[in-house]
Amino acid sequence: MSPTVQITENPENVPLCSAHASSSGAFAATQHDPAAPPRRAVSLKTKLAAGAGMIGLVALLSSALTVVGMDRVGDRIAASLQAERRLARYAVLSTEASTFLVVAAEAIQSGLPPEARAARLSPAAADLDRTFDLMRSDLAAAVDEAAALGLAEQSRRASQGIAIARMEALFRTARAGLASDTRDRERLQGVLNGFAHAFDPLLNEAVGDEIRTRDAILTRIAALRRSLTGLALAVAALAALMVGGFYLGLLRPQFDRLDRARQATRRIGAGDFAPDLPERTADEIGQLFAETNRAATALACDRARLNDTIRARTEDLRAANAALARIDADRRRFFADISHELRTPLTVILMEAELGLKGAAPQDAFATIQARAQRLSRRIDDLLRVARSESGRIELCPEPMDLRIALAEALAETRAELEAAGLEVTVVPGSALRATGDPNWVRQVIAGLARNVLRHAREGGRVAFSVGPEAGYGCVRVVDNGPGIPQKDRARVLERFGRGSAAPPGEGFGIGLALARWVLEQQGGHIAIESPVPDGFRLGTAPGTLVGAYVPLVD
């Protein structure tokens, strides 16, 4: 039981700081001892000097604003000029590329031998090489200049080099193809057409990006001009406000306080020893006011300290209760997972042992028992990792995996059980589907969904499995031809120990779908239930159920 703190009312305003009697006594001695040193305070002279200094600071701010603004405007104008220079370079590149295309087309149509064709293309190719070199130099200079505009602008300009590199790569590929030993006009014309069709969009994209860069710089110049104008007006308004505030906020209140001190002196002279002077400052005048209010100030400090202590202890108690609740929830979930994970392999082992005793060839049964015992050993290893972990929870190890392989392994584990129950198993073939998840636990989720069909939908006689992408996830779908799940029970069956209203007594503990949901959500996925089954997936006339296990695809 936690201790109880009781706060009593104080109707007679009796001091509550009895625990601080020593400090109060020392305070009283200070109050009545004329030899005690005065409390250190900010003098009126300091306040006046500070006010004058702030006005001077506004003047300095105005000057700094002018210098910085002019510097930034100059940087942006220089960047705009560089953008215009790069646009001119793109125009030269376009002209030289057109010349290269015309010369190459003429050389192809003329049927020149490879040596003559290479010599014919050499001047135009040299011009393009020189232009690409100049463009790389311009881009490097632009990246350096963009340092003053921020990291984002610098990165954006650096990315323009990708387009230049791609255009240069296209040009070099086309030049190499045209300089080959072949005299096949169609092949040479194909090389030239490929260069023309790929180069023009890249050039247009680069020019458009450069135009947007120039327009953005001009927009920033206009925005900077508006900002500087607004700041200049704000500084002017601030100066006017500070002058007015200097008088209204400092000089005039001091005159009022001097008038109140004179009135209090007259009241004390008349026998009124409760002047009730406000204690708002600690300057020369405030020290006079503070002497008669110090005891009330000490009482207020003690009560505030007591309230802070109570509040802190209450928050600590709430935090402790919340931590205990989380620990208890983890404990209950841990034991529920143990029950479910150990019950399934043990049930299969017992069933196979019984079949082995009755059958003439026990090798298959013993092989199944061995596989289930190995699976049980893996579950025990998982539980040991949970017990040794600091969180006390199942630790998942997501990694790139193939959902198709996970489905195949789960079917290898459960197909015999499904077919023994009279279910027709259909697997829709699919291509490899890379997803991010714990392969072991994803396989267990799929196997659990298959056994869920075995428990609740075997009378439908059919079950289908498929794998495919959907909205950024890899989805494993399990479709049955059973009685389906009513709308009111869909949320309940995904809860721990939740079962449908139509589920017969004794059919499991109701944590299979809940555990599958938890495993998928911990890996960034989710589980979805549709009943009745949509038309595109329906297996028969029964409503059926479609359960989708979603795992994030590999980026």
Q: Is the pLDDT of residue 239 over 90?
A: no
Among the listed residues 454, 460, 443, 453, the one whose alpha carbon sits nearest the alpha carbon of residue 529: 453
Mean pLDDT over 317-332 rounds to 81
Cβ-contact 473, 525 below 8 angstroms: yes
pLDDT in tens, 189-222: 888 888 888 888 888 887 877 788 777 778 878 8
Q: Is the pLDDT of residue 295 over 50?
A: no
User: What is the reported pLDDT for 472?
Assistant: 92
User: What is the reported pLDDT for 433?
Assistant: 92
User: What is the reported pLDDT for 400?
Assistant: 95
Domain spans in the chain, listed from the N-terminal domain onward: 47-241, 337-388, 399-552
Mean pLDDT of the chain: 76
Cβ-contact 365, 353 below 8 angstroms: yes
Please give the residue that has the higher pLDDT: either 17 or 321: 321
User: What is the reported pLDDT for 292?
Assistant: 60
User: What is the reported pLDDT for 31?
Assistant: 42
> What is the Cα Rg of the chain in Å?
42
Mean pLDDT over 229-238 rounds to 82
CATH number of the 399-552 domain: 3.30.565.10
Within 13 Å, how many C-alpha atoms sit on residue 361's CB side?
A: 3
Cβ-contact 513, 452 below 8 angstroms: yes
User: What is the reported pLDDT for 434?
Assistant: 94
**Which stretch of DSSP H or E encloses residue 480?**
strand 473-480
pLDDT in tens, 466-484: 999 999 999 999 999 999 8
pLDDT in tens, 363-395: 776 777 777 777 777 667 666 655 555 455 677
Please give the residue that has the higher pLDDT: either 461 or 346: 461
Instruction: Give the pLDDT band of residue 38 (cuts 50, 70, 90).
Output: very low
Q: Is the pLDDT of residue 145 over 50?
A: yes
Q: Is the pLDDT of residue 343 over 70?
A: no
Class of the domain covering 337-388: mainly alpha
